[in-house]
Structure 1
Amino acid sequence: MQEISKWSYVFSKDSAPVAHAKSGEILKFIMEDCNGGQIQTEDQLSNIDWEKTNPATGPVYIDGAEPGDALAVDILDVTVADHGVACTIDNLGPLWPVCELRTRRIEIRDDYAYFRDIKWPIDPMIGVIGTAPSEGSTPTGSAFEGGGNMDSRLIKKGATVWLPVRVPGALLAMGDIHATMADGEVIGTGIEIAGEAIVRVRLLKNFKLNWPVTETADAWYVNTCGDTCDLAIERGYKEMHRLLAQAYGWDSTDTAIYMSLQGYLASNQACLVPGSGGDTFRVGTPKVANKPRLID
């Protein structure tokens, strides 16, 4: 099993790959926390070097991947360090006006997180995962059509993330692990923590994806972003509509009716940061026995 430990700060077709992998190969990604390890104690606040945040391990060149393909990343395991941090960030999020700058160091013991007088089970997830855009570059702290900083708490052990391939080799990278994170990530951080992810990469030839899709045991979720919540949600509904109609062979109207009867909608990260891709949402539909898979 290859271990990948070098990271970068952009998704770009011009990024030099740090490793190559074949379809079906299992890889271990070793990841720093989103702060690049700059915050370790409660007397350190979020006035850090933002140019060194959200490092994404990779990119990895997937042999045989070409534009128009889809890349599956099966998340086999995610493990985390023995502590993480959560911080308020100056002028970020709807609750900032009633907050002050503060860091909380959160201990992880026996798979539980400890905050003040409360503990809860950890549920590690990967905040940043994506493939390179066809043009230009996108910071790893931003969300975009190829993934990036989606911050979906469903991207965890047992899930598969389907990513569009827009450049030869796909150039897969990931980072920004959280021990836990709430939907919305209202102050801009989950439990930011270092860790490792073991994944399997699989290539699906000639399958169009406009946005990343998370597959769980019982549902599919399209992940989108936008400068407003409305735009992000609209994009998710349109891509889910396309995938459902294509898989089930229904016309547009019946597909729309079904989506109004069965489905899910949730925020991934709803702390709008101008210029970062904006709020991220997921639009879901349940898996149905004896119906075709949405991606196959």
Structure 2
Amino acid sequence: MAIRLNKQQVIYNFSKEHPPALIVENGATIQVETADCFTDQIDSANYAFSGLNWDQINPATGPIFVKGAEPGDVLKVKIKKIELDSMATMITGPDMGVLGSELTQTTIKKCPIKNDFVQLTSTLKVKVNKMIGVIGTAPKDEAISCGTPDAHGGNMDCKEITEGADLYLPAHTKGALLALGDVHAAMGDGEVAVCGAEVASLVTIEVHILKNSSLPTPLLVNSEKIMTISSFPTLDEASVDATKKMVSLLQEKSQLSSADAILLLSLAGDLRICQIVDPNKTVRMELDKHYFKLPLAD
């Protein structure tokens, strides 16, 4: 039976100092309520943007303490279901996103979600592609804002973190202290306007501990491909690190030499931008699962 965690239990940074909002057993199923990335502050397209409380951006519901998780372990998070609210919010404007310098005023849109589409305008709709923008564990050292992705996960804004995927995150502290939020009804790679279709949600996850695991994290797996994820101040740095992680994984799980693994990625690997609008930029390296001879984990 699933345990439910309400969206009043939130953090705005990932830290090993936070007391747990919920304590669960290894293997537990949890239903996590999430507010949208604005903590549900924007209630209409006429909202006075100047009144937005920027201290309440990107809330992550949690943290969740998983019994038995210790530093050096990996936490496997199975994304089982994402249920969306019926209305999404989008904003863009000066100094926001990739082209904020070209805008002179803020635009707020309330976008109905109906029949598996997000209605952007009266004549333009986009198919729902639900995903989790913020998900991570407590970092090894100092606290990290929920708006910043890093080695612990966080605001990766990877559109492949969706139903049916398994996300592997590091445990840097006892219990791992998992939290998540910033769900999108749709988002393209890059998140160029600074947001996706931001929406409140109910996310069902299942958590499993991999003891003393050597898997490179964050790592994402779905039915077709394996993805190494990396976040750094520049896309170049993130690209190099995501590629290094995939090469390391291929060496371990397919017994390839470093050179052969690099050549394989040049032929069959896809290096993709997750987001380009956060303090650290996030990149993923994707590779079809059939290139891996050994299972990732027991």
Q: Same fold (TM over 0.5)?
A: yes
Q: State the alpha-carbon separation in 2 of the partners of residues 112 and 252 from structure 1.
A: 44
Partner Cα separation in structure 2 for residue 32 and residue 89 of structure 1: 22
1:16 is aligned to 2:44? no
Alignment partners' CA distance in 2, 1:115 and 1:108: 9
CA contact 1:81–1:193 (8 Å) conserved in 2: yes
- Cα distance in 2 between the residues matched to 1:89 and 1:195: 25
Residue 111 of structure 1 is matched in structure 2 by: 116
Determine which of 186, 196, 209 is the counterpart of 2:192: 186
Corresponding residue of 2:70: 66
Counterpart position of 1:202: 208
Match among 176, 180, 188 for residue 182 of structure 2: 176
Residue 19 of structure 1 deviates from its aligned partner by 0.8
**In 2 relative to 1, CA 89–8 (structure 1 residues): closer, same or farther, beyond 3 Å?**
farther
RMSD: 1.4
Give the letter for the 1:72 counterpart: K
Secondary structure in 1 matching 2:98 = coil
Q: Which runs of 5+ in 2 are unaligned?
A: none
Matches within 5 A, 1:64-213: 64-99=68-103, 100-116=105-121, 117-213=123-219
Deviations 1:227-254 (A, max 9, x none): 1110111110111111111111222111
Q: 1:45 to 1:253 in 2, by over 3 A?
A: farther
Cα separation, 2, equivalents of 1:295 and 1:118:
43
1:4 aligned onto 2:5: yes
The alignment's TM-score, normalised by the length of structure 1, stands at 0.95
Question: What one-letter code is carried by the residue in structure 2 that aligns with 1:28?
Answer: Q
The change in CA–CA distance for 1:246 and 1:187 in structure 2 (over 3 A counts) is same
Could you tell which deviates more after superposition, 82-91 or 30-39? 82-91
Paired AA for residue 282 in structure 1? R
- Secondary structure of the residue aligned to 1:237 is helix
Structure 2 matches for 1:198-277, cutoff 5 A? Answer: 198-271=204-277, 273=278, 276=279
Distance 1:251 1:46 in 2: 54
Deviates more, 1:71-80 or 1:87-96: 87-96
Give per-residue Cα distances to partners, 1:110-150, cap 9 Å, x unaligned: 22211111123212110000010121101111101010000
Say if 1:45 and 1:103, in contact at 8 Å, map to a contact too: no
> Where in structure 1 do 4 or more consecutive aligned residues deviate above 3 Å?
none
Contact persistence 2:253–2:292 (CA under 8 A): no
